[in-house]
Amino acid sequence: MGKVSGPIWVLGAMSGTSLDGVDAAMVLTDGVQVLEFGPSAYRAYSPEERAVLRAALGRWQGDDVAEALEVIQRAHIEVLSGFDRAELVGFHGQTLAHEPRGRGTHQLGDGDALAEALGLPVVWDFRSMDVELGGEGAPLAPFYHWACARWIGAERPLAFLNLGGVGNLTWVDPRSAKPEAPGALLAFDTGPANAPINDLVAQRLGLDCDRDGALARKGRVEEGALELFLDEGYFRKIPPKSLDRDDFSLMLDLVRELSDADAAATMTGMAAAAVMQGMEHCPSPPERLLVTGGGRHNPVMMQMLAAGLDCPVEPVEAAGLDGDMLEAQAFAFLAARVARGLPTSCKTTTGVAAAIGGGRISRPV
C-alpha cells in the first residue's frame, strides 16, 4: 500500500502488561477521525504461555527471549488471521522492559514475520523513536483518546483512565483541532494498577487476578502501608512521566505481613490513591472520568475512585465505547497515523521535545 490518505480498515492488536492475552480490533479511520468500529476478538494466553512471558519480563534486546517471542508471534498470528477486510495492521508487541531514561524500551515482537504471515503491511515498534528523541515512550493511547472524545461528541474537557497492568490517565480537551495542539492533551502513568494485584494473587493463591474484587472486598486497607506507598517520589514528579510494570515492586513488600484479603484491599487502595494523586495534575477539572482496561471490572476499585474524586467515574461503555478493546483500537488508529506521516506523540503526552511520529512499517515480500 502507498501512503494512506482516506479512511481504511485497520486491525490493531494489544498484549498488555497484565499478561492475560491478545486483544484485536478493527477501526475504520483516516488517522484523524474514527468513522466506524469493526469486529474484535480476544486470544487468552494459557497458564504455560503466561509463565513463559512472565519469566521474560525485564529482559532487553540481545537477551535470550526466543521462547517468549514464539508465544507472542503464535498468539498474534492466531487471532489476527481471523479478520477480513483489514488493509493495515497495528502491532504493539509485548513490553518486557521500559526504562526511558536508561536502557530505553523493549517491546517484544517481529513485525517483519507478522507481515509475512498475514500478507499485510504491519506498523510496529511504536515507542522506540519517541524514547530516542527524549520522550518517555508512553503512554501512546492519548492521541486515540482525543479521537474518541470527539467521536462521543464531548464538548468540555474529560479524562480517560486506563487501568491495565499500570494505570494511565489522559486529560482531553475535545475542542482542540488536533491532538498535538497546545492544550489538547495531558497524559501520564498514574502508578501501578492491576499488575501487582495479579502478582499477589498468583503468588499466594495461584489465581490470575482478583476477579470482581472478591478478595479485596473481604479485606480492609492498611493505612500505614498506603501512606508509605504514597511517599514514593514518583507521585511528586510533574508529568509527562511513565513507569515500567515492576517499578512499584515494593508494594508486595508493604503488604507481606497482611492477610490475603487485607493485602488485596490495600493494593487496590494503592492503585486508586495513585489515580487520585494524578488527577491533581489535570489542567482543569474533567467533566467525567471514563475508565477502560480490566480494572473497570473491579467494583472495589471503581467504588474507591468514585468516593475519592469530584467527578463522575464511569466505565467507557457509558459513552458507547468498548473498554476491553480500546487499546487494540488505539494501535489501529496510531498505525493509520504512521501510514499517513502524522505524529503519534507530543510534549504533553510523552515529554518528547516536538510532536513526532513513531513506528516502522514492514511489508510482506
- Chain centroid to Cα 334, Å, comes to 13
Give domain 8-137+327-362's CATH number out of 3.30.420.40, 1.10.3720.10, 3.30.2020.30, 2.40.30.20: 3.30.420.40
Predicted local distance difference test score (pLDDT) of residue 4: 61
Domain-wise residue ranges, the chain: 8-137+327-362, 153-319
Q: At what angle do helices 260-279 and 194-205 cross, to 10 degrees?
A: 170
pLDDT tens column, 184-237: 999 999 999 998 999 999 999 999 899 999 999 999 999 999 999 999 999 999
Q: How many C-beta atoms lie closer than 10 Å to residue 43's C-beta?
A: 18
Residue with cell 494489544: 14
State the SS3 of 237-295: CCCCCCCCCCCCCHHHHHCCCCCHHHHHHHHHHHHHHHHHHHHCCCCCCCCCEEEECHH
Predicted local distance difference test score (pLDDT) of residue 1: 52
| Contacting residues for 121 by C-beta, under 8 A, at least 6 apart | 1, 88, 89, 115, 339, 361, 362, 363, 364
Predicted local distance difference test score (pLDDT) of residue 175: 97
Query: Cis link prior to 179 (omega < 30° from 0)?
Result: no
Predicted local distance difference test score (pLDDT) of residue 101: 84
| Contacting residues for 204 by C-beta, under 8 A, at least 6 apart | 260, 263
Predicted local distance difference test score (pLDDT) of residue 2: 53
Q: Which residues of the chain have pLDDT under 50?
A: none
pTM of the model: 0.94
Predicted local distance difference test score (pLDDT) of residue 165: 85
Report H helices in 121-206: 128-132, 142-151, 194-205
Predicted local distance difference test score (pLDDT) of residue 247: 80
Q: How many C-beta atoms lie closer than 10 Å to residue 164's C-beta?
A: 22
Contact 349, 240 (CB under 8 A): yes
Residue 326, all three cell numbers: 480500546
Torsion angle defined by CA atoms of residues 108, 241, 16 and 12, in that order, rounded to the nearest 10 degrees: -80
**Cα gap 289→310, rounded to integer Å:** 10
Asked if 8-137+327-362 and 153-319 have one fold, the answer is yes
Identify the three-state secondary structure at position 52.
helix
Q: Phi first, then psi: give them for residue 223, nearest 5 degrees.
A: -65, -35
Homologous superfamily in CATH for domain 153-319: ATPase, nucleotide binding domain (3.30.420.40)
